[in-house]
């Protein structure tokens, strides 16, 4: 019997991260992309420092098992091991170009089965170790919960391989229950999809196993629990039954889906009414066809978003401060003295992001070349994604270091967090400096993708893997060093509120006129210098 200590470590951090710091996923089918790649973006939004690891493929003996920390009763649980497990990067991608992501929708909390030990992060890792395709991953996950139960809240899983993209949504059956309730839908080729902490699958076909799979109890359990009444004449919709919407959740969650969709397909002119909670507003579709084929650079751009250019633009208004910062400190919601409820916007780009990755899957290439985990730490707006190939035998060192309770220049996470946090002092200025470095590095890495691919295809597989591993390590070190230097440059250029030009001359830039005018409007006398000829009232200054 083998203990899964890594799962315990990962699980503890994910549990902390999930408490109010949810995630966002974007799925792009190969027919929707510019070069035939399939993509999956997964942002993991939580205040934790994740050290990226890789796990080699392995063979196991008959009778081997895996042990997991206990559920509500505290007793550890065991599951069977399989004869062979695949190589995996983190809990993101495996050697067969299978990528996994998730967002938690919680749903009906009474369905959370606290007595079971298999959590969603366990299922993600187990799927990567045991499945070659998205379809196989669904079967792995659902067969495991059928046999051992499901111990997490409602979850949306993204499962993408070079040829297919699926969303699997799952809830438990409550304390004392067995198995899980779930439905999985394939995203038609040529389309994109997204989810952000609300169940997205509504109506689904009951007789199309090629494109839809579901648990036998998906409808009967809802009837038993009185969540759904067939006599109502309403069609069965998984999302409405197991994750009933509320205005606050719509604003927090569906606004991100709306923004991703409206940017990918402006021609749809999608209304914001649904994500604003307007009664009778139409739900957003599970998938859309983008106006243009989506390239890797477009994927990166889509998940860098604070609702810019919309009425909800977080870089505008008094709440953005004098320098247009889109960041809002948690908690994001509050009540006033009259118990009226308010909340800040929750964008795709969050300062609380621990890491994000873009899985790129290319069906026409050998797996060890075609699968790329573009990995980055911190806010997607500030990060710089580094290509890590799924066959690599090691991870770039700066991604493997760090402690959230101790600043260290050796850790990629701290290098990026220093820059993004310091930028809040004068955001509208510093973001331009940051984007310059970010763009230069990402453009070079993307620009080299074709040449490095052609180069390694001409050499034996073992040499190919060695070269790609070294290539990723080189870029990991380059990005890390560049961000350390960027942080040093920013604190020098913007010290004490001044701005230094390229010659080192200091400039007093003060505050934007629009912000000062707004201050004058709110406080018409507070900052005003009295006219000595008109002022007769003395100003009392306390000693």
Residue 536 pLDDT:
60
Residue 6 pLDDT:
45
**Structure confidence at residue 3 as a pLDDT band (50, 70, 90):** very low
Average pLDDT (216-229) is 98
DSSP 250: I
Q: Identify the weakest region by mean pLDDT among 74-78, 247-251, 464-468, 516-520.
A: 74-78
Q: How, if at all, do strands 65-68 and 2-3 pair?
A: parallel
pLDDT tens string 248-265: 999 999 999 999 999 999
**Structure confidence at residue 22 as a pLDDT band (50, 70, 90):** confident
| Average pLDDT of every residue of the chain | 94
pLDDT at 18 over 80: no
Question: What are 482's two structure tokens?
Answer: 């560049």
**Structure confidence at residue 4 as a pLDDT band (50, 70, 90):** very low
CA dihedral 132, 136, 137, 140 (to 10 degrees): -120
- Calculate the alpha carbon distances from 14 to 18, 46, 406, 497 in Å: 6, 8, 20, 38
**Structure confidence at residue 75 as a pLDDT band (50, 70, 90):** confident
Average pLDDT (207-228) is 98
CB atoms within 10 A of CB 86: 19
The percentage of the chain sitting over the pLDDT mark of 90, rounded to a whole number, equals: 92
Question: What are 61's two structure tokens?
Answer: 């003996």
Q: What is the DSSP string of 427-461?
A: HHHHHHHHHHHHHHHHHHHHHTHHHHHHHHHTS-H
pLDDT at 537 over 80: no
pTM over 0.75: yes
Average pLDDT (326-350) is 96
pLDDT at 429 over 50: yes
**Structure confidence at residue 471 as a pLDDT band (50, 70, 90):** very high
**Structure confidence at residue 533 as a pLDDT band (50, 70, 90):** low
């Amino acid at each position: 019997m083998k203990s899964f200590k890594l799962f315990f470590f990962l699980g503890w951090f994910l549990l902390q991260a999930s408490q109010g710091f949810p995630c966002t996923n974007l799925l792009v089918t190969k027919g929707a992309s510019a070069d035939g790649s399939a993509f999956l973006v997964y942002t993991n939004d939580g205040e934790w420092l994740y050290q990226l690891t890789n796990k080699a493929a392995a063979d196991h003996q008959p009778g081997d098992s895996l042990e997991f920390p206990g559920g509500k009763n505290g007793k550890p649980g065991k599951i069977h091991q399989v004869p062979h497990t695949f190589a995996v990067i983190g809990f993101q991608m495996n050697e067969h170009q299978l990528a996994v992501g998730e967002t938690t929708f919680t749903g009906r909390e009474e369905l959370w089965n606290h007595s079971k030990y298999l959590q969603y992060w366990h299922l993600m890792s187990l799927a990567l170790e045991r499945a070659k395709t998205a379809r196989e991953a669904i079967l792995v996950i659902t067969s495991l919960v059928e046999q051992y139960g499901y111990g997490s809240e409602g979850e949306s899983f993204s499962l993408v391989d070079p040829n297919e993209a699926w969303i699997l949504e799952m809830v438990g059956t409550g304390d004392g229950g067995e198995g899980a309730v779930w439905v999985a839908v394939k995203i038609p080729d040529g389309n994109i999809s997204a989810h952000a902490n609300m169940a997205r699958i509504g109506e689904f076909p009951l007789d199309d196993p090629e494109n839809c799979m579901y648990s036998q109890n998906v409808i009967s359990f809802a009837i038993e629990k009185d969540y759904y009444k067939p006599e109502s004449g309403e069609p069965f919709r998984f999302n409405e039954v197991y994750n009933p919407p509320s205005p606050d959740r719509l604003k927090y969650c569906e606004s991100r889906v709306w923004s991703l969709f409206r940017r990918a397909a402006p021609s749809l002119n999608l209304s914001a009414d649904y994500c604003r909670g307007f009664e009778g507003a139409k739900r957003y579709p599970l998938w859309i066809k983008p106006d243009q084929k989506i390239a890797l650079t477009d994927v990166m751009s889509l998940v860098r978003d604070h609702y810019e250019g919309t009425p909800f633009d977080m870089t505008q208004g008094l709440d953005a401060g004098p320098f247009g910062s889109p960041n809002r400190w948690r908690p994001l919601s509050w009540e006033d003295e009259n118990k009226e409820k308010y909340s800040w916007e929750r964008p795709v780009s969050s300062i609380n992001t621990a890491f994000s990755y873009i899985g790129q899957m290319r069906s026409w290439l050998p797996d060890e070349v075609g699968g790329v985990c573009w990995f980055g730490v911190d806010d997607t707006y500030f990060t710089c994604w580094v290509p890590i190939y799924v066959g690599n035998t090691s991870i770039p060192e700066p991604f493997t270091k760090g402690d959230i309770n101790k600043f260290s220049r050796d850790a990629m996470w701290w290098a990026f967090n220093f820059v993004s946090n310091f930028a809040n002092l004068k955001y509208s200025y510093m973001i331009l400096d940051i984007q310059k470095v970010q763009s230069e590095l990402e453009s070079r890495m993307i620009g080299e993708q074709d040449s490095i691919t052609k180069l390694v295809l001409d050499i034996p597989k073992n040499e190919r893997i060695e070269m790609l591993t070294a290539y990723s390590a080189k870029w990991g070190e380059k990005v890390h060093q560049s961000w350390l230097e960027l942080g040093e440059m920013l604190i020098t250029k913007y010290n004490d509120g001044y701005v230094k030009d390229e010659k080192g001359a200091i400039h007093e830039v003060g505050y934007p006129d629009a912000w000062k005018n707004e201050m004058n409007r709110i406080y018409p006398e507070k900052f005003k210098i009295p006219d000595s000829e008109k002022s007769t009232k003395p100003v009392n200054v306390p000693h």
